[in-house]
Structure 1
Amino acid sequence: MTPDSTADGARTPAHPCTATFAAWMAGTADGGAIALHAAKLSTPDLSPQLTAVYQVFLHTQRFTVKKNLDSMLRSDPTGVDVEDHPSIRRDKRRLYVLQRELQRACLTATLLNLPVARRAGFILIEVLRFSEDEVARILGTSSSAVHTAVGRARRDLTTYLESRCEHMDPRNPCHCETRLGIALERGFIQWPDRDDLPGDEPLVSRAVCLDAERLYAKLPSPLPAPRGSGPVCR
Structure 2
Amino acid sequence: MTKTHTAFNLCLNRGSFLDILDRMTSTRRFPWIWASFFLLVGIAGLVSYDVSRSGGNFPKSTTGRLLNDLGVLEHSQRAWQKSLSTSARGYLWLETNAPVYYTLTVETCTPYVLLSREFAYVAMKKVGVLYTNTKDYVAEKTPVVVATIEQYAPGLVDNVQSYTASGLEAVKKYSNDYYQLTMEYLKTKVFVGEWAPEILQNKTESALNVTRTHVSTYFHWFREQVHIYSKIP
- Asked if TM exceeds 0.5, the reply is no
TM-score, scaled relative to structure 1: 0.24
Bigger Rg, structure 1 or 2: 2
Larger fraction in helix? 2
Higher relative contact order (CA 8 A, sep 6+): 2
Report the TM-score, using the length of structure 2 for normalisation: 0.24
